[in-house]
Structure 1
Amino acid sequence: MSVLDKLKQMLKGHEDQAGKGIDKAGDFVDDKSQGKYSGQVDTAQDKLKDQMGRDQGQ
């Protein structure tokens, strides 16, 4: 089992809290980089949230 699979198992049932954590981490990176990479951060946040949502149905 890969690290990603283990992480998904740990987050199962806590998707809303994980989503808040993703947002908070993205805001932290935006703050530290003064918004220089905000487009890339937003894309990464969306992909992570999409991945979590896709795993809910399985």
Structure 2
Amino acid sequence: MGMFDNLKDKATGAVDDHGDKVSEGLDKAGEFANEKTGGEHGDKIDKGTDFAKDRLDGLDGENDDIEDRNA
């Protein structure tokens, strides 16, 4: 098992166990970025946040860990 496989397994486990916290963290990061840009890129930041949530949630092959997606 390579280093990246190990990292993926750890990330998958973290999202499986703490999907709600991961979602909260991504939302807070998006809000912070939006504030720092003066709301100028809010739509792009929201799109990126949603993309990150989808990708992290799908690490285990199922979209079942992060429920608060604004699709």
State if a TM-score over 0.5 links the two structures. yes
User: Which is helix-richer, 1 or 2?
Assistant: 1
Number of aligned residue pairs: 58
Match of 2:26 in 1: 22
Task: Give the 4+ runs in structure 1 shifted more than 3 A.
Answer: none
Q: Which consecutive unaligned segments of at least 5 residues does structure 2 have? A: 63-71
Of the candidates 17, 34, 50, which is equivalent to residue 46 of structure 1? 50
Q: Which consecutive unaligned segments of at least 5 residues does structure 1 have? A: none
Calculate the TM-score normalised by the size of structure 1: 0.76
Q: C-alpha distance in 1, partners of 2:44/2:38?
A: 13
Are residues 1:8 and 2:27 paired?
no
Secondary structure at 1:14's aligned position in 2?
Answer: helix
Q: C-alpha distance in 1, partners of 2:10/2:41?
A: 26
Look at both structures and tell me which one has the larger radius of gyration over its CA atoms.
Answer: 2
RMSD of Structure 2 on Structure 1 (CA): 2.4
**Percent of pairs identical after alignment?**
28
Calculate the TM-score normalised by the size of structure 2: 0.65
